[in-house]
Structures are given as C-alpha cells and as structure tokens.
Amino acid sequence: MQKEVVLSGIRPTGFLHLGNYFGAMRNYVRMQDEFNCYFFVADWHSLTTHPDTKALKASVHRVIAENIACGLDPEKVSLYVQSDVPEIAELYLYLNMLAYKGELEKVPTFKDKVRLQPDNVNAGLLTYPVLMAADILIHRAVKVPVGKDQEQHLEMARNFADRFNHRYGEVFPQPRPFNFSNNLVKILSLDGNGKMSKSENQMATIYLSDDDELIRKKIKKAKTDEGPSHDNAEKPDYIQNLFTLMELVSTKEVVEKFEADYNQCNIRYGDMKKQLAEDMAIFIKPIREKAATIQNDNAYLQKIMREGAEKARVSAKATINVVRESMGVKY
C-alpha cells in the first residue's frame, strides 16, 4: 500500500518555540515512520513580513537544526528549503489565476498583518494562502500537521484544489489539518495575549534555545490569578495553558497533583510554576544543545538541504507534469 503524503512548513522568522513544537514538530516526528513526509523551511513565506534578509541564512539553518534536534530524521523524510524547489513557484502562479482578490482580503491573518505592518501591505501578504496551497498541493499531500492558527489557510487550500479539479480535471486530493490529539493545538503566550510566536510576544514565548535561567524567569512571570473560587471550576485559558505545558514536560504524578490542587481550590501557582520551570529546563536542555552542535556543522547542513531538495523535486516535478498536462500547458 502507498503511504499517505504529509506536508508541513515552518517560516525562518526567528527562534522556534513551544508552540511550534506542540503544534507542528512533535507531530512531524511521530509521523515520520508511518507516512511519506515532506517538511520544509518556508523562506519565501518569511519575505512577506521580514523583507530584511540579513538574518535569513542563519534562521534557515536554525530551523533545520532545531527540527533535527527535536527528533526529525532527514533519512526518513524530505527536509528541504522552499526556494530550492522552483516547481512550487510555478504552481503558485497557476493557482493565483484561480484565487479571488475578495476572498483573500477577507482572511483574518491578512487583516492582522495589515494592522501590524500598514506600511508594507505587499501582494505576497495577500496571496500567502495561495503560496501555502501550492506548498501542499505540489506533493498532493493529504495530511498537514499544523497548529490551530493555520486552520483557515488549509480550508482555502482545499477550495483552490477543488476549483482546479473542477476546471481542469481531478488532479489534487483534499488536504486536511492533522494533530495526533484530534484537536488542533494553540499554545498561548505566557502573558495570555495571543499565541506564542517567533515574531511577536517574545518575552512571553519559550524558545527551544532559551537557557535554564531565562526559562525560569519567563515562567515566573506567566499570568495567573487569585485561583479558582469553587471546586472543579473551569480553568481560564491562560491557566489551562500552564497545565498543557506541564503535561508536555512533567510526570503524570506531578500533573495529577496540581490538577487535584486546582480542583480542590488549594492550588499554589508559585509552586506550580517552580515545578514547571524545572521540568521545562530539563526538557529543553538536550534539544538546545543538539541544535547548537548541528547549526555549527555547515557541511552537514548543506548535505541535508541538498538531499532534501532532491527528494522534494522528484515529487514536485511529477505533479507539475500532471498539472501542465491537464491544463493544456504543453505544446
């Protein structure tokens, strides 16, 4: 039986964080044996919000290194850089002819970016969901491990695939978002304002490169409140977020103890944060150290990127051939 095709990408816009780990990378690692996986560094996507390219090279290398440090095996998957696969740009061009200005302007992430960078509302920002659709459809992927923030972009990718199929014949399967936990994950920033992010909320985001002291400092400052007012109270989202992080890095017994404390109204957030900080530091240390070693090994990085692109281009070329054939762009 043919393995299902999986695709996902991460922008080289900064340091990877727990949101990326939870929403994306942890799933990548768990999928690599069972599926035919393509994971890429989305350098073209980063240009929509980060036109200054001085830090780009280091960021691309870091994303590759941190993915491998988290357990991704470049022998099992294709790990490549988006701009090394020009077929994606060709498919993006075709899909742009099927995407409407009105629907793109309505996308919430586009509206957010317009608010954040009013002086740089470039066409790339507007057509971000089209390029993302091309990233996925170029491998005819069906499973896309992403965080909750990408749910709507994926719905658009399905629409573009449908439109293409309708007009030119059945070429693309429907890509679906994927997370092992059934629900798509969103790790909030520690101050409770928005999500952890590479580009925003940096003091309230825990990065895989943070040292022990910084981890302690950030968790100590995490938003809490005076505690629940009655037994078995529902948790506010910023408290649930601390529990979610604790489930990732602490033992089951520890999580159960604080859950019980919460449910019986005698939770001490100071103690909980201390425990979380220590367990988080232990969790992140080996990832940080392994990533640093890989990042310093330029020959290894070059080899990974070259081999990843070779594998990705085999699949991308096959799709472009089918696309051109079905569109009649073949003379």
For the annotated catalytic residues, the residue numbers are 113, 195, 198
Contact 307, 74 (CB under 8 A): yes
Beta carbon nearer to ligand ATP, 145 or 228: 145
- The reply on whether position 197 binds ligand ATP by CB under 6 A is yes
DSSP state of 141: -
- The reply on whether position 92 binds ligand ATP by CB under 6 A is no
Contact letters (x/-) for ligand ATP, 101-140, by CB under 6 A?
----------------------------------------
For residue 188, which phi and psi values (nearest 5 degrees)?
Answer: -75, 155
- The reply on whether position 207 binds ligand ATP by CB under 6 A is no
Minimum Å gap between C-beta 327 and ligand ATP is 30
**From candidates 69, 85, 156, 185, binder to ligand ATP by CB under 6 A:** 185
To the nearest 10 degrees (0 to 180), the angle between helices 269-295 and 298-327 is 90
Contact letters (x/-) for ligand ATP, 20-49, by CB under 6 A?
x-xxx-------------------------
Q: Cα(302)–Cα(93) distance, rounded to whole angstroms? A: 28
3-state secondary structure at position 88: helix
Beta carbon nearer to ligand ATP, 173 or 194: 194
Task: Provide the token pair at 120.
Answer: 């740089």
Q: Cα(255)–Cα(266) distance, rounded to whole angstroms? A: 14
279, burial (CB in 10 Å: exposed 0-12, middle 13-18, buried 19+): buried
Footprint on residues 2-21 left by ligand ATP (CB under 6 A): 8, 10-11, 13, 19-20
Beta carbon nearer to ligand ATP, 63 or 309: 63
**From candidates 113, 186, 218, 223, binder to ligand ATP by CB under 6 A:** 186
**From candidates 187, 245, 249, 304, binder to ligand ATP by CB under 6 A:** 187
Place of tokens 């590479």: 198
Contact window for ligand ATP (CB under 6 A) among 135-143, 197-205, 258-266, 300-308: 197-205
Footprint on residues 50-69 left by ligand ATP (CB under 6 A): none
Q: Residue 244: which residues within 8 A CB-CB, separation 6 or more?
A: 22, 187
In terms of phi and psi (left: phi > 0; alpha: psi -120 to 50; beta: otherwise), the region of 176 is beta
Q: Cα(234)–Cα(327) distance, rounded to whole angstroms? A: 54
Residues that bind ligand ATP (CB under 6 A): 8, 10-11, 13, 19-20, 22-24, 146-147, 149-150, 185-187, 195-200
